[in-house]
Structure 1
Amino acid sequence: MLRWAIFIILYTLVDIYAFQALKTLTKNPWIYGIYVFVSLAILAALIYQISTMGAGKVLDIKTMYVFGIFLVVFVPKLIVIIFMFAEDIGRFFTGIFMKIAGSTEVPFMASRRKFVSTIALGIAAIPFASLIYGMVQGKYNYKVLKYALEFDDLPEEFDGFTLTQISDIHSGSFDNHHKVEYAVNLINEQKSDVILFTGDLVNNVADEMNDWKELFSTLKAPEGVFSVLGNHDYGDYVNWKSATEKNENLQKLKAIQKDMGWDLLLNENKYLERNGKKIALVGVENWGENGFKQAGDLDKACVGISEKDFKILMSHDPSHWQAKVKEDPRNFQLTLSGHTHGMQFGIEIPGWFKWSPIKYRYKNWAGIYEEFGRYINVNRGFGFLGYPGRVGIWPEISVIQLKKRQNNV
């Protein structure tokens, strides 16, 4: 109750402050009434939706949309009050200076206040429109990102080998079968040698895949479809009635992947062979920092493979690469991760610039990174969670071609 009280107070203060900008531009009481009604309706909907999520506390698509609409309205208000507060601070210090100087003028000009309010509302319209677009179109704005990586120790037989990586499907968030079907077909159209899924098939429970199992079973590749578990796949964010019920959910999720024809790697490895040569595909369970599950076991996953083998590691959380993998003497040449979603929000100009607030939590958060001659690709995610949309950081299908580096003498 205390947290709700604090939230409501802060929400009200932001609302009142932002309302001042509106008052400088219009005196229409109908507009005032609409503003108040929308603010109260969104607050009430958010409180109701969260308080009625049930004992399981499962974040469903309806709750996500309520949260998304809240962001659409609240974020622009924060932008407005930044401008209004800056103007008030400027006016405050100007008033002090004028008083010291002995001036009797009032340090407030209605025209200046109106100008600042207009600028603030104009700039606030950008996140308002962007967040709406992200919910309507951005979340299904799939992009195929292609990379070619060169390695000295890649067997000649695998020169040109291609893999398609997807991650963070979060099937419990989907609400448009046609759009998801388009994306699944797009994956198959890449005609890669192997398809690799790096975790978070669901938001919370295995049943979320009931409507999507048949569709994702159509993913096919010559070398197969392989997968690992992400932090959401374990059901850790559900208030289960018992440990047995939670375990049954996990077993059901594993069975679903098997039924779809996916080969789930649970701290284990598989060899891919060509003309007598092979590369190792290593899959670990989730291993994360900052309170995330650490079930991944590299030692167990590497049983039976040689340090000299070329290795592709599938590990859901990229913090695993920073903490344990990139300097491991067994030399994992390529690691594939997901998890961050690129925060589903940011600014990206391919090949030139990329930024998202998530970069301040994860050093490796989107795309290809290289250290010590070893690479990691952090997939931006196929689905979405929390905010039911994407702005600037689009859902991704990664296609990576492995190349044998040619040593020119």
Structure 2
Amino acid sequence: MSDRNILVINSGSSSIKFALVNEDQDEFLLEGLAECIGFPEAVVNWKENGVKKSMNLNGADHAGALAKILPVVQEVSHGKLTGIGHRVVHGSAHVTKASLLTPEVIKVIEEAAALAPLHNPPGLMGIEASLAVYPELPQVGVFDTAFHQTMPEYAYRYAIPEYLYTEHHIRRYGFHGTSHLYVSRKGAEMAGLPVDDSCWLVAHLGNGCSTTAVVNGESRDTSMGLTPLEGLVMGTRSGDVDPSLQIHLHRTFGWTAQEVETMLTKQSGLLGVSGLSNDMRTLIEASEQGHERAALAIEIFCYRLAKSLAALSCALPKLDGLLFTGGIGENASLIRRKTLDHMRIFNFKLDDAANQACTRGAAGKISLDGHPLVMVVPTNEERQIANETLELIDAIAK
């Protein structure tokens, strides 16, 4: 086994997801989640060599939480930690690949916080905390937006006055890039196709959802835009709405910009339509029991997803297949079936038994022979972040 280990950190506003990845092992040496950071009930739960463990954080902040997590990482890695890879959501147009976290790159992340206010600030907390504990280690930012920097200008520009783009960088950026990159490459591998001669529609479906058209290993278009709000219906995010909705709410009800943003990002989507939950598992169960709003939320979700996938096909010179990933994409056979029912013109046809079997991490083909390929491909963002971190460390060492 290689002694090269990468700690992957994905920091949220009150959580830190982490994994210790060895370049030669499929299973992570360590993976866990610190929750309720900054609150009295703060706790970290992790799995180490298949054994579940837990530790009270006693209300620690991000720095305090990492100060308790990192000794565990040191012990499990036997002190052999090669670097740290951080998931960063928004790198604006300035960052097109994984980057060493220099003061200049950190400044870019800070400046992009206005475009990802729910993601970049907590990401910075994790970065600052780990730099304080491990200043001597190479630390790398892997950006959700980087993969989508290959979109052509006609795909990423909005039809708004030029100066808003040239002076203020208002354009479509796209997100979930790490997942779309990993899944499209893994899908090509599973299908026996070369990455540089394969074309995919990828649906990353979780609490956040996005679709991407991937051509020869590069993003050509994606559903998310300036922020992670654009595009599909999500757990609590509305996805696309008429831009005049915000003006209407302000003029009619006196809503402030903050009130509109809160409604669209935290009170909409599956939760808003169903009035019940943002969790697809809960909604499917409720729908089966006759809950009409839960059933409607599912129908809207699937129809909007199908519309997005169909629209993104415009970016493909050919279609080698459709790939489902993410918590919903990997587990909800009902959602996969309902979505493809809306895409009859593409001649997709599922193998019902294979579709039902692909849950809980199971990967594979779910389409019938003689019809366009559809596969479930579990994502592994931690592995992708670790790979890109090691690649950058190797490049710097040369």
Task: With a CA cutoff of 8 Å and minimum separation of 6, indicate the structure with the bigger relative contact order.
Answer: 1
From the CA coordinates, give the structure whose radius of gyration is larger: 1
Note whether the superposition's TM-score is higher than 0.5: no
